[in-house]
Amino acid sequence: MKNSFTMVNNQTDESFEFDILDGTRGPSVVDISTFYAKTKMFTYDPGFTSTASCESNITFIDGEKGELRYRGLEIGELTSKHNYLDICYLLLNSELPTHEQSLAFDLELRHRSFIHEGLRNLFHAFPSDAHPMATLSSATSALSSFYFDHLVIKDEKEFQEMARRIIAKMPTIAAFAYRHSIGAPFIQPDISRSFTENFLYMLRAYPEGKMHMTPHGEEKIRAIEIKALDTIFTLHADHEQNASTTTVRNVASTGAHPYVAISSGISALWGRAHGGANESVISQLEMIGNVENVDKFILRAKDPDDDFKLMGFGHRVYKNFDPRAKILKELQDQLKDELNLDSNLMAIANKIEQIALNDEYFISRKLYPNIDFYSGVILTALQIPKSMFTPVFVIGRTVGWITQWIEYKKETKTKISRPRQLYRGK
């Protein structure tokens, strides 16, 4: 019997048959690519909540089970055994690197981390108080003018070169964007440092390359700090067809330069409902101000007549605990012990978390703490400025965006993205 789906128009009694396509994981899909041709109607799905926009083999999410996999490998296993650059290699090559490949990949990205002097000069054209995300998006788009040859890519070697270049340079661009926003001189990459350590170095160092003193009187970047930020990069590396990734794919469908597509993804990520959520979490904790005020704001969150929303809870896809949040919760507890953290913000966050995990209102609505709730608190613990929370997300997600771009460009049956509409005007 044919694996198909039959739809009946009750107005005309006409029936229409559509093929059912099975994936290796997750629900099957009904192929409605011929829906208009057969029925002369469009489907209507605001927000694309029930629409598979593409075929992919990069990342899989099961929201009911709280499952996230990169190239078939479970996220918890990856974060416990591999660093962020190994994850980048995995996403780009569909397999984890050998020890030799890992070293070579790391070394290549260290040497590609420098940016053209012309691009460096561009930063001075932006207002001195510009938000780093605005500068980051613009500078990434400008990067396409320095590597215009990437507009036409013919083979796997060129795909890899293009991808590795943008992954390597994004931390530098992000660090420069921040230092420009505070009027500090730029710190060039240090190829003796690893990917994640180098970003912290470019963010923190004095002009002569010496490190800022930490609260513990140390001038070095601690291993626990590198591990924590590296984990955050890994958890942000890709997340299926979210708003910014879909934006990257849509721009890719026009034939635009890959770095322009990445820039569009950065702009989409900046929204408070997407990558800007962790910055909003901290702003809200600061607004709450004290542990004694938590109960009052919890009541406001429950009040249907109050437009106050508790940031960092619930997720569009996960109807169980966000698996990334579980990992960050453990990391937060570790940081609290190893860095002797007991800040006011963390105390507020801990009380909100305990209430939400045990309160029927939140449990019944499946409003579990998500990755943004924990990442904001952890980034604060790492002394990452609040304005850099979303750029940190960008650094981690760049590999996912560029891998999705490559997958789209290699697909032989792609068409320019062109959704239809339900018109209700005159």
Q: Is the dihedral angle over the CA atoms 385, 386, 388, 389 positive or is it negative?
A: positive
Q: Is 203 exposed, middle or buried (0-12, 13-18, 19+ CB in 10 A)?
A: buried
Q: Does the annotation mark 212 as catalytic?
A: no
Mention every residue, 6+ apart, whose C-beta is less than 8 A from residue 44.
422
31 catalytic? Reply is no
Report how far Cα 336 is from the mean position of its chain's Cα atoms.
Answer: 25
Q: How far apart, in Å, are the Cα atoms of 226 and each of 83, 335, 391, 412?
A: 10, 11, 17, 40
DSSP codes, 345-391: HHHHHHHHHHHHHH-HHHHHTT--B-HHHHHHHHHHHTT--GGGHHH
Instruction: Rounding to the nearest 10 degrees, give the CA dihedral for residues 333, 73, 51, 248.
Output: 80
Cα–chain center distance at 217: 33
Residue 254 half-sphere exposure toward CB, CA atoms < 13 A: 12
Which of these is catalytic: 315, 322, 333, 342?
A: 315
Contact 320/63 with Cβ under 8 angstroms?
yes
Maximum Cα–Cα distance across the chain = 78
Cβ atoms within 10 Å of 63's Cβ, excluding its own: 17
Interatomic CA distance for residues 390 and 393, integer angstroms: 5
> Using H for helix, E for strand and C for coil, what is the string for 98-114?
CHHHHHHHHHHHHHCCC
Report the C-alpha gap between 52 and 64 in whole angstroms: 17
Query: How far, in whole angstroms, is CA 63 from its chain's centroid?
Result: 17
Cα–Cα distance measured from residue 187 to residue 425, given in angstroms and rounded to the nearest whole number: 55
How many C-beta atoms lie closer than 10 Å to residue 291's C-beta? Answer: 14
For the chain, what is the total number of helices (H) and then of strands (E)?
Answer: 18, 6
Residues recognised as catalytic: 315, 372
